[in-house]
Structure 1
């Protein structure tokens, strides 16, 4: 197993890709990536863009336990020898794919204040399973290549955070108006829903958010849906699938209070993790005596640990009467759910 930082100078172990007056580019090459243990990995040290003698390095966390388990995390650090040093830098990172169907993983931050105790980076740069899947093309011969660029300034057209947020809001609003109210003339995909109503949407946005739709709609996949752009959705009505499409294209949902339990089921079935997370958050905040038993069953059915814990906490605080227990017994499909509930209640005493 080997991990090296490559720049043009092989004698020093640094293989530099490009040097400009205020920019340096590097490629971190990590061989046998799939065999890496779940731990922190440090790159070799490298020079910054100003040749001021200060050394830098990258910290990569590979599938470590905690909130970021299952993800690749990456942070830029100054070496401990840079005592009391603080640098303002910008960093761009890319992981390229050899597959024409997958775009490069791309991330950047601007004008971050980095020192030897505080790094800057991304706790969830990319899901590890996406890197490991051969067809995605991110690993060549089980080798991960992270291309990054460190600079002391950024392009003059960079907008500040407020401008970016405003532009993003306007962009999403325009997308929503075009895709959700245009009666299909700008869409290339039709969902035939449970109530025999069709919902027009975009293949691109569906595929971007859902691994299931991505596989189904991929050109030359052999699926009929890829050729016709017509997908039969037998489990959900048009109201639910309209909101699934709205989230895929615009990042928001209408009437989530009324639809949340159906939406989380659709998000689970079609693998829309961000929509699923949104639904879980809303269900956790709206647990009530009238829905607590149903929410517990949903948490168990779709393996929603945060929701299950929120239900247990609600039951501990509010209790359950005989009617609630009977409802749970008649709706629960797994005996272990009752045992979990009894265990949670016993901890209350």
Structure 2
């Protein structure tokens, strides 16, 4: 397997971790599994290191420790791994392996990494202060450009840099009240983004204009906070990756005619559709007449076999009957 990196090929993502394992693990147990490790750069990917003692396939009197990396990922990944076991006596053990990690949980590794008796011998020098140091270097890539584009993190952010520069200038003079939570914002920003709220604040007959507050009862505090962050040019992709919450962002944008937010939502999810979120996104896009996103969802669903299309359609409980029939 060759992992290459250039503008025309798949990107490479590398992480290097050191594991210090107590000697009694190898004398008292037959296996070791590390804590779950997160992987910055590839979304929703985590991994663990496993070592397992087993009898040699060729010489049944010998025992070896195998070493493996267990990867949890939402999509198949190409994986290259270097294992390095340090020794104070220059008996360093270095080996590597590669393979395809299937979607879900999968592992690759080396069955006979180090012979047990040799590992345990004091003069081999593998244990310092009764701990063995194992360094693992993993290099991942997606198996297709389509997967790379889908799962690579992207930001949900305004392009207007000036809103960041003005964020901390002057006292915030308007607030949203959500239950017991008060969320402050500059009136200038909220009226710039929402002509609906701007009209309220220009009319003295509205209580919002009199109090400088707006009570929100149909959206949670987390949604309103994310909307305010967006108004200030901050990245809200952390909530966009949760479809149930993301849908509320779109509904809020539609209710208060926040065209920038609605447009950014459509652009974001046109790149982030999956079999598991497309039903929810289609329902929301249809409800608020987000035409570009709606058509993108329809085309995306039509790529699946008929049974999967029907499963998606039946899962869309609020979808218009005629639209649902397109997928039957």
Task: Normalising by structure 2, report the TM-score.
Answer: 0.46
By relative contact order (CA 8 Å, sep 6+), the higher-ranking structure is 2
